[in-house]
Structure 1
Amino acid sequence: MLAFFKNIKGDKAIWGVVALLALFSFLPVYSASSNLVYVVGNGTNIGHLLKHGLLLFLGFGIIYGIHRIPVHFFKGLSIIAMPIVLVLLVYTLAQGTTIDGANASRWIRLPVVGFTFQTSNLAAVVLMIYVARYLTKIKDKTITFKESILPLWVPVFLVLILILPANFSTAAIIFFMVLMLCFLGGYPIKYLLGIVGSGLLVLTLFILTAKAFPDLFNNRIDTWENRIESFMNGEDIEADYQIEKAKIAIATGGIVGKGAGKSIQKNFLPQSSSDFIYAIIIEEYGLIGGLVLLFFYLLLLFRIVVVANGSKTIFGKLLAVGVGLPIVFQAFINMAVAVELFPVTGQTLPLISSGGTSIWMTCLAIGIVLSASNKEITVGKKNSVIDDTNPLEVLSGQL
């Protein structure tokens, strides 16, 4: 065990924050899973808790393994992984079935372990690494928009188009994160404005096509409209019901909350252990608990910025920001939905919510950030003459 802890490298504060969030998650997950057990009739509290624990245990295994990889190794991996991700997204979108009543175009089922896997989460991480690699490659170079279309924007829009029909919120978050990373990476703002316009045009054409030919392909246009309308005027019954129950949970939590496991609204609030777990946390632990949780995400954000600022390479800086900020951004969106600052998006609370392998993808991103913070690996490879823009040289030289 001591040898294991000696091999833990990287930013210790990030390790601490992630470990505390993961440990705390067992309390609200165990409490909120009673909705699945007694209302939905799915499994037992202990069963859901054990599943959550297994996912986190394997997730920390992913963090440990990934954080030991030299950061420049991810350049080559992103090129290799991008075609694989596109194939997985096509396969996921083409299923056209349902899993537990939900649109299966967002998940594939892993036959061996029995878990469902949301391929868009993997695609988001891989795409951010790929974009960071490209921005590093063109750093300090004068590049035209035409030159960047094929190597940068074609892969970005292919990923977004394959995610969009089944998961608008995830596609929107990825698009925003890519734009932010490109801005931080020095990509010309005038080109980014053109990309925003192009994105809005593609989205408009997609919506018009889906409305004109509703049987052409599976999509969630009506769901998007209902959620936005519900947010604007509260006319959608289902979404409005979720928000109202979440607000009741928050209001009755008060300053110190009702206590661990004593939530009432978990029995009425759909997705209480995933999408709306923040409302249950405030009901049980009060405003203090909600603010403490917010503080830890802000601390994680701060440490990600510290890691990016301290990295010795441009790629390390962009990589830490590219895969780290979406974790915190997703957490803020989940919290904003619970207090009705955002329409319902279906985004979980990272490292806290129960769920499938989305936990693993969060852990993958955290492992990459820790790799970028691992000074021993970075310094140890600083004299390498390998061309780390070439994936074949990276693979042959670093493995």
Structure 2
Amino acid sequence: MAKNQRTKTNEKTNVKRSGTGKIRFFDYSLLAVLICLVCFGLVMLYSTSAYSAMVTYGDSMHYFKRQIVFCVAGFAGMFIVARIDYHYYIKWAKGIYYISIFLMLLVKTPLGKEVNGAKRWIRLPFDQQLQPSEIAKIAVILFIPVLICTMGKEITTLQGMARVVMWGGFSAACVLFLTDNLSTAIIVMGITCIMIFVVHPKTKLFVILAVAGATAAIVGARLLGMAMETSGNFRLRRILVWLDPEKYASDGGYQIMQALYAIGSGGFFGKGLGNSAQKMIIPEVQNDMILSIICEELGVFGAIIVLVLFGMLLYRLLFIAQNAPDLYGSLVVSGIFGHIALQVILNVMVVINLIPTTGITLPFISYGGTSVLFLMAEMGIALGVSRKIKIAE
């Protein structure tokens, strides 16, 4: 009877005995939230892209079928990565960092592929493409913790922080100048700063810098908006559109205006799944503007559900980071946490026009094969760290 009771207890807690007086942990909660996000994303992707896929390809399931293939491949890869001891990454992290730089250099060669006016991809066989900036994110997540761990207490000094920022900044600069992707460069730099923040004993300095930086960016954007109305630079034009989308509705502001109409027309409970009207006119709506269609079809309630799911995902990542067996594992998961959090926050802010359009997609929900594969790889790394957590009986 007692033996049966112990077996039931172990099944409920989803842990295994390690034979050393401790219990091995695996974060099934993270896996469950991830499955919910991916399944929700597939449903919304089909609802959002069916019309445009039919018009463009003659197949309403074109985007859905491609995405589901990448999701299945991503889950398979995630389980493989989860079984790898994350300490092996310490040896290969620097090499992965340099490989990411090399792949971004290839974008400037004839292998580079231009899509919708942006040259950010590498041509692959069988009509596939790879976005090297996605590899840069993982490279920074794996390599920056190695630097921090080898530096020890030096990271608390100005010189130590500058050294780490230099490596992260170089990767971000390559993303910006080699792939012309400002939004991803911001994320790469943000991941670096978050990991420094995690290990630094003083938080006041970072809070002051963050507030000062945000204030300077807002003031600078408004000053540029007033001074550069005749500029032809597309990034400056995005700032102008952000400041006054109605004025530039026919010249760059069309997408954001239609997205705002979609959000406003959805109300609290939405029009119903599949009943969006704006998805027929918003360009590339299955990418960075998919949240606006979620709001139109499912209302604010649907958007809240999405944000709650992301909150649960981030909470599980935070739990793993706090309980990781060593500093390297903790920093790697903190980097993954920072990546997901930054991407979600920036995407939501773009959709509701709090910041200029960036092209950042909503993780696990927006269409994109490369993005899904590398996000799943990051989840595999986090689950691999969770497998090393041991809980005392």
Same fold (TM over 0.5): yes
**Over the residues paired in the alignment, what is the CA RMSD in angstroms?**
3.1
Partner of 2:83 in structure 1?
A: 68
Structure 1 residue 299, shift from structure 2 partner: 0.8
Structure 1 residue 98, shift from structure 2 partner: 4.8
Structure 1 residue 155, shift from structure 2 partner: 3.2
Structure 1 residue 257, shift from structure 2 partner: 1.3
2:241 matches 1:241: no
- The question of whether the paired residues in 1 share the 8 Å contact of 2:53 and 2:60 is answered with yes
Partner of 1:46 in structure 2?
A: 61
Structure 1 residue 36, shift from structure 2 partner: 2.9
1:35/1:163 CA distance change after superposition, 3 Å: farther
Partner of 2:35 in structure 1?
A: 19
Partner of 1:359 in structure 2?
A: 372
- Give CA deviations for 1:158-205 in whole Å, capped at 9, x if unaligned: 312211131011101211221121121228889989x99xx9xxxxxx
2:105 matches 1:90: yes
Partner of 1:28 in structure 2?
A: 44
2:238 matches 1:227: yes
TM-score normalized with structure 1 length: 0.79
Pick the aligned partner of 2:288 from 275, 278, 286. 275
Q: For 1:178-193, what aligned pairs fall within 5 Å after superposition?
A: 178-186=192-200
Partner of 1:207 in structure 2?
A: none
Partner of 2:153 in structure 1?
A: 140
Stretch deviating more after TM superposition (94-103 or 227-236): 94-103
Structure 1 residue 307, shift from structure 2 partner: 0.8
Structure 1 residue 94, shift from structure 2 partner: 3.9
1-structure distance, mates of 2:201, 2:193:
9
**Runs of at least 5 residues in structure 2 that lack an aligned partner in the other structure:** 1-13, 17-23, 214-231
Q: Which amino acid aligns with 1:223?
A: F
- The question of whether the paired residues in 2 share the 8 Å contact of 1:9 and 1:68 is answered with no
- The question of whether the paired residues in 2 share the 8 Å contact of 1:231 and 1:342 is answered with yes
2:23 matches 1:10: no
**Runs of at least 5 residues in structure 1 that lack an aligned partner in the other structure:** 200-220, 380-399
1-structure distance, mates of 2:49, 2:238:
24
2:123 matches 1:109: yes
2:265 matches 1:252: yes
Partner of 1:173 in structure 2?
A: 187
Partner of 2:74 in structure 1?
A: 59
- The question of whether the paired residues in 1 share the 8 Å contact of 2:103 and 2:132 is answered with yes
Partner of 1:218 in structure 2?
A: none
1:162/1:142 CA distance change after superposition, 3 Å: closer
2-structure distance, mates of 1:68, 1:274:
31
1:163/1:143 CA distance change after superposition, 3 Å: same
Partner of 1:155 in structure 2?
A: 167
2-structure distance, mates of 1:13, 1:167:
34
For residue 262 of structure 1, give the secondary structure of its aligned residue in structure 2.
Answer: coil
2:307 matches 1:294: yes
- The question of whether the paired residues in 2 share the 8 Å contact of 1:115 and 1:357 is answered with no
Identity fraction in percent: 26
1-structure distance, mates of 2:94, 2:312:
32
Partner of 1:284 in structure 2?
A: 297
1:26/1:147 CA distance change after superposition, 3 Å: closer
- Give CA deviations for 1:356-393 in whole Å, capped at 9, x if unaligned: 311111111111111111136x79xxxxxxxxxxxxxx
1:256/1:153 CA distance change after superposition, 3 Å: closer
1-structure distance, mates of 2:112, 2:326:
45
Partner of 2:7 in structure 1?
A: none
2-structure distance, mates of 1:62, 1:97:
26
- Give CA deviations for 1:299-331 in whole Å, capped at 9, x if unaligned: 111111111111121111111111222113211
- The question of whether the paired residues in 2 share the 8 Å contact of 1:307 and 1:372 is answered with yes
TM-score normalized with structure 2 length: 0.80
1-structure distance, mates of 2:321, 2:349:
26
Stretch deviating more after TM superposition (140-149 or 130-139): 140-149
For residue 116 of structure 1, give the secondary structure of its aligned residue in structure 2.
Answer: strand
2-structure distance, mates of 1:361, 1:292:
24
- Give CA deviations for 1:30-89 in whole Å, capped at 9, x if unaligned: 1221353255x2352222211010010111112111111112222112122112111101
Q: Which amino acid aligns with 2:197?
A: F
- The question of whether the paired residues in 1 share the 8 Å contact of 2:82 and 2:382 is answered with yes
